[in-house]
Amino acid sequence: MLFAGSLLTAPSAQAEETPPTEAELLAKCDNGTKKCVFHPSGPLVEVAGERRKVGDEAYNCTPRLQRSGITWSDTVEETNSVGTSTTVGAGFGGPLSISITTSFETTWKSAKTESATTFIDVRPYQIGWLERTPDMQKVQGTYELIFEDHFKGHRYWYVPFEATGPLETSSMAQRSRPMTEEEKANHC
């Protein structure tokens, strides 16, 4: 956490208080601040999200190639360096996401849910499944908070901030492997 010591005048009794956490400060954005602005340190960067299995597994207990439909739903949420978005008020449409949206003139999403039924081909005596990798956007920068009155001894606070939020796109992959004897006994 950065403090703007050069912008302060005489120390006060409040200055000796325990400094607020980054989450406490960000919760004050548009809720006690005169100004709360995000200053990006670079452009939005697209990154691959965490790859994960979605839907149930499909078991092919036949000696022929089998097509199976897997129904799945997956929600991807924003993460940030301060903590959960609900704790700091950074949910969709909240002051923090609005500030990021304003900085880049593009929508910043805090969550995205995608659902579908995807058909996969599973080879004889194998297990098939789907893996989804959501496309994400990442940003780094600093929130500048200016208070009308002193907050915890200071009028100016700066909070380093990094966030990753979902885009509209993702990639899917089909995976399979041979069943074990135990899996054959349990599912076939």
3-state DSSP assignment of residue 41: coil
The pLDDT tens digits of the residues spanning 148-164 come to: 888 888 999 999 999 89
Provide the pLDDT for residue 94: 67
Of the pLDDT bands very low, low, confident and very high (cuts 50, 70, 90), residue 184 is very high
Lowest mean pLDDT among 61-70, 80-89, 115-124, 143-152: 80-89
Q: Nearest Cα to 38, choosing from 145, 138, 136, 111?
A: 145
> How far is CA 123 from each of CA 46, 52, 139, 158, rounded to the nearest angstrom?
35, 22, 42, 57
CB 125 within 8 Å of CB 61: yes
Provide the pLDDT for residue 95: 72
The pLDDT tens digits of the residues spanning 1-52 come to: 344 433 333 344 444 578 888 888 888 888 888 888 899 999 999 999 999 9
Mean pLDDT of the chain: 84
The DSSP output letter for 120 is E
Q: Which of 32-41, 85-94, 168-177 has the highest mean pLDDT?
A: 168-177
